[in-house]
Amino acid sequence: MPTDIENYPVNELDRVLSKFYAEARNKNGELYKTTTLKNTRYGINRYLTEKRDIDIMKDPDFMKSNKMFKAMSVQLKRDGLGGIEHYPPIEEDHIKTIYSSLTQMDPVSLQQKVYIDLMLYFGRRGRENLRDLKVKDFEFSKQGGGDKEHRYIRIQRDELTKNHKEDTNTAVGKMYEVKDDAKCPVKSFIKYTTKLNTNCEYFFQRPKTTINDDSVWYDAAPLGHNTLGAMMPAICEKAGLGKRYTNHSLRATTVHVLDEADFAGRHIMSVTGHKSENSLKTYTGFTSDRALHNMSNVISESLRTDATSTTSTAAVPDRNVEDMFQIENDSDIIDFMLLSDSQMNNLCQDITSTYSSHGPVAACEQQQVNVNKTATYSSYPCINNFGNGYPNYPVITNNYGNININYNIIPK
């Protein structure tokens, strides 16, 4: 790509862009993903808009190059290069291994523990703004009272972020204490702040090499950008993990954990500071092994040939009616049998005469009547007791398309 494209005539620039979209490769000679090519196009357009007030994406003079861009986007998708590159979260067993390795008994371990807590609970992006964090930027507060009192930490300053320099980060996440837990993030935070050097206002200070009985564990000097940027790889190496994670992996873990727990996107955004739910897709598109296993099990279960399913229109009691009610005379017990057509007609007429407000039941003669015949009860019927104030009596409404009649067992 020429370096002086802002001086090219429009028709020549259109030709150069067409050639660039078709031939762009990375340093290994491989095609870019569609997202990379798209972002590059946005960058070129922004540059030319500022320099020459032209829009290579909308101006009709760039129809040829725009057609080439669309054609390449389709081809890249066919080649499997069209998907979003998701940020993988830290594996569950790995994050537990990391957490267990942080003893909090020395300056480095304590600082690393607090660092991970802040990154996870507040969904922070990589090393962004970490160097400039100050002790006064954090607020320690309480919520509730008595046994329901919970202490928490929150970041109380607005921060400019990489993608939203014109706006401030309005994330409202809070890090609550976990009572009776040695790894409580609030307890670790409090311990860390009491060990900081009061002669330095920055939150991440350089750990002392020796502490002895000194109450101050850190020098009056802030950690540099590069040290903070390499914090997570150093923690992984210390924990003995065979996999290397970056600082951004912690942010991906936050989004993934909350998404797996079915928190709404808008609530996750309130913690991470994302401006739209679409931007969460680079994190939430990851599917855990547990979810994949569950999905596989569901499919396997649907293919089982020995599985049986039954449907009925009414629940069958687990115990006999005799056990449920006090029956005075066993001779009163009459087994329910299937009703004949005349018996069914008489039953409908009885219901109609008592509950005429529900509309004529005569229409039932031309409709299908479904009667629960899945259970056989040993009891006496209460069919003739309708209208005597007993609960759970059958009611036929004006919708006669599908009628269910339940035989209720009511003591005399």
- How do the domains of the chain map onto residue ranges? 5-78, 92-294, 321-405
- Per-residue pLDDT at 347 exceeds 80: no
Q: Which pLDDT score is estimated for 201?
A: 94
Q: Which residue has the higher pLDDT, 263 or 352?
A: 263
Q: How far is CA 321 from CA 25, 297, 366, 374, 411, in A?
A: 79, 39, 34, 15, 10
Find the helix or strand (DSSP H, E) in which 403 lies: strand 403-405
Angle between helices 265-272 and 247-260 (to 10 degrees): 150
Band (pLDDT 50/70/90 cuts) for residue 67 is very high
Q: Which residue has the higher pLDDT, 289 or 67?
A: 67
Q: Which pLDDT score is estimated for 332?
A: 44
Section 89-103 average pLDDT:
89
> How confident is the prediction for the chain on average, in pLDDT?
74
Q: What is the pLDDT of residues 379-389, one digit of tens each?
A: 434 434 444 44
Question: Residues 86, 285: contact at Cβ < 8 Å?
Answer: yes
CATH of the domain spanning 92-294, picked from 3.90.79.10, 1.10.10.10, 1.10.443.10, 3.30.420.10:
1.10.443.10
Least confident of 23-27, 237-241, 284-288, 354-358: 354-358
Q: Which amino acid would we find at residue 329? A: N
**Ramachandran area for residue 319 (φ above 0: left; ψ -120 to 50: alpha; else beta):** beta
Top-confidence range, 169-183, 263-277, 280-294, 361-375 = 169-183
CA distance 329 to 331: 5
Q: Which pLDDT score is estimated for 144?
A: 84
Residue 16, Cβ density class (10 Å: 0-12 exposed, 13-18 middle, ≥19 buried)? middle
Q: Which residue has the higher pLDDT, 296 or 336?
A: 296
Q: Which pLDDT score is estimated for 171?
A: 57
Section 89-105 average pLDDT:
89
SS3 278: helix
Band (pLDDT 50/70/90 cuts) for residue 391 is very low
Section 192-202 average pLDDT:
95
Residue 227, Cβ density class (10 Å: 0-12 exposed, 13-18 middle, ≥19 buried)? middle
Angle between helices 185-195 and 107-122 (to 10 degrees): 130
H-only helix segments in 240-280: 247-260, 265-272
Q: How far is CA 365 from CA 193, 251, 341, 362, 395, in A?
A: 82, 66, 10, 6, 16
Q: Which amino acid would we find at residue 33? A: K
